[in-house]
Structure 1
């Protein structure tokens, strides 16, 4: 409902664009949200089932680990079933990269310096070019090269950036430029400083993440601080929130970070109060129920749920649909920022869900009509 104001605008770093399958990364493309499966990749059916849940949550790109030949053997079935591009996670064995590229992976997550000779790097580059694969260089503070640890004494921003530049040079020496880079650390300060330094040294897309961030709550907080501060500074083209939680939760948290900064809009943005003795209904349980029942909505819209009239009307003016707690079990409903009608406690939850679903259908219909009008005008 609210208009864009200059102090809300994020000015993104200008990066060149690459393609990860059908998904553009970098340039002026939307910042993509990634996650990673945690099933055994060799179990194609279990992996595909998990990919489906991540796709439903909105994942743009999904990474799958390929630690052995059985995993890459399952990749063909997995990539064919997936609706989004699949990144094959490769660590040391270059042959897994060759097999994954041939099996339909859209991107290879591999550090060229870890796979051996220049001939092996050349083989991986040839396979990537032949299959239209991008490459993600993934530098991690926990696995820096020994020579860099000896040079700097400990993981530091300069060491992570130097490692990234060394890996980049190996690809550039083989005339390969379809790459993106991550310099992750579990320490927020280290990760942010490394990304800031790398952003000034290269023009390729950057993949953001705070690695090994922790569980759902702690990891969300660390990721929001680290990834959020970088995105706010305009740095970052694709993100992965690393949580000790189901991968679809990583996707949801990733979108919430982007939504908070106005960088992506997907699904219902809920504005709700922490509740207090003034509340006219159980705000906490109501919000929990609404988030679950509205998780299928992909259309961007806003909903405010406030327990009383102190801040309720003000927040409702800024949202598509608003609910404010009132007395005697009757609560005010706002539509497009304007008071519209009341609803009783017993019917409140079902009523708000129906209003949101109707609003989403209305927005989708308007978008469809606009698209048809554009087509007619073009003809």
Structure 2
């Protein structure tokens, strides 16, 4: 394939930290996060929700710890989870101490909001003793009163100053395993704040447009805000904040990364919006295929086009393609080449089988490459 310099993203250089066994920052992949919405004290319900997020591909997951019952359940949750757990702490420094002892991989806390310096010292000591990272979470909706008085309203400068104040507290106590977020529900405010912070520090940045809204509106806002920052090379881990189930946040997060070519996971679907030329019901077909193919983790591409206007061209660029034809017979493309026809009634099942077979073929090739690489190393 030809070199396409207009697709290159020059990623901001940042320090790398570890959140459990997951690297964040540096040259590590941009990770996808979400947050549970079950009562953390209900360990079984929380673990069940975490499991669904893991199946969707989540890298790191956050749980809220507002009370002792929550931190008491955290040890069981951490033990059951296959991904690192971040404990979300607000104000109550003892919850941070309990969460660190319970095995949290990271504490989401603003050190300037937990009281006296002695409390900050205790939290930092607990984080060091337990190998916890810390995420500083600045939010436009909860800025410190002195900054609101200074600037008059939430603004990029206020968010950045708040972040730098919290960072200084950690650095003054010789703690450097931290990442930072400066979130806002206003896309312009959030993007500007992140850009300002990216120039001021070298720590990993956690991206998000907070309180973005429902599934459709929130996905659009997040794609614009997070996508702009990632395109500029800013961001080491992301969370799409939606009024939707957490696993949906994970899926949207991956779609943002896939759109920019930053990470690939599962099936990338290329499909037309449909029109009167369509040879089959494109909208319902794509909806069904997306649901049926959620179990595929292997990166591959599928084009679903209703007619021959753009269908052949799109199919040439995807692993598997289908283009609508006349009389209920549609053309199937494999690796960009016309291969065979499929009847309308059999189309969905046929495509699912083709995608599953292609995924298995790709996985087998990756295993063979790994074995070959291992053999070469052994020979050397």
**Fold match, TM over 0.5?**
yes
Counterpart in 2 of 1:264?
A: 263
Residues 314, 260 of structure 1: alpha-carbon distance in 2 compared, 3 angstrom cutoff: same
C-alpha displacement of 1:377: 1.1
- The answer for the alignment partner of 2:286 in structure 1 is 287
Distance 2:247 2:292 in 1: 16
Structure 2: distance between partners of 1:3 and 1:27:
27
With over 3 angstroms needed to count, the CA separation of the structure-2 counterparts of 1:3 and 1:336, relative to structure 1, is farther
Q: In the TM superposition, what are the counterparts of 1:18-37 in structure 2 within 5 Å?
A: 18-37=17-36
Which runs of 5 or more residues in structure 2 are unaligned? none
Aligned pairs (5 A) from 1:310-329? 310-329=309-328
Structure 1 equivalent of residue 227 of structure 2 = 228
Specify the alignment match of 2:111 in structure 1: 112
* Residues in 2 aligned to 1:7 and 1:139: alpha-carbon distance in whole angstroms: 33
In structure 1, the residue matched to 2:164 is 165
> Where does 1:78-117 land on structure 2 (aligned, <5 Å)?
78-117=77-116
SS of residue in 2 equivalent to 1:63: strand
Root-mean-square deviation (CA), in Å?
A: 0.6
Q: Distance in 2 between matches of 1:225 and 1:276?
A: 27
CA shift at 1:246, angstroms? 0.3
Q: How far is 1:376 from its partner?
A: 1.1
> d(CA) in 1 for partners of 2:92 and 2:338?
63
Q: 2: distance between equivalents of 1:265 and 1:111?
A: 33
The reply on whether 1:213 has 2:208 as its aligned counterpart is no
Q: Distance in 2 between matches of 1:328 and 1:72?
A: 62
Q: 1:3 to 1:102 in 2, by over 3 A?
A: farther
1:352 equivalent in structure 2: 351
Deviation string for 1:311-338 (max 9, x for gaps)?
Answer: 0000000000000000111100000001
Give CA deviations for 1:335-365 in whole Å, capped at 9, x if unaligned: 0001111111011111000000000000000
- Counterpart of 2:363? 364
**CA distance 1:133–1:348, shift in 2 (3 Å):** same
Instruction: Indicate the larger mover: 299-308 or 117-126.
Output: 117-126
Q: CA deviation at 1:291?
A: 0.3
* Residues 213 and 4 of structure 1, relative CA distance in 2, 3 Å threshold: farther
Partner of 2:7: 8
CA distance in 2, matches of 1:127, 1:314: 58
Pair 1:60-2:59 in alignment: yes
Deviating runs (4+, > 2 A) in structure 1? Answer: none
Q: CA deviation at 1:118?
A: 1.1
Task: Report 1:40-59 matches (<5 A).
Answer: 40-59=39-58
> Taking structure 2 as the reference length, what is the TM-score of the superposition?
0.99
SS in 1 for 2:163: helix
- 1:177 counterpart residue number: 176
Q: Take 1:282 and 1:190, find their aligned partners in 2: how far apart are those partners?
A: 41
Structure 1 SS opposite 2:244: coil
Counterpart position of 1:190: 189
- Counterpart secondary structure, 2:264: coil
* Structure-2 residue corresponding to 1:237: 236
The number of residue pairs the alignment matches comes to 378
Tell me how far 1:133 sits from its aligned partner: 0.3
1:132 lines up with 2:134 in the alignment: no
> Are residues 273 and 303 of structure 1, via their aligned partners in 2, closer, same or farther at CA, if it must alter by over 3 Å?
same
Task: Give the SS at the match of 1:222.
Answer: helix
Distance, in Å, in 2 between the alignment partners of 1:5 and 1:342 is 33
Report the CA distance between 1:154 and its aligned residue: 0.3
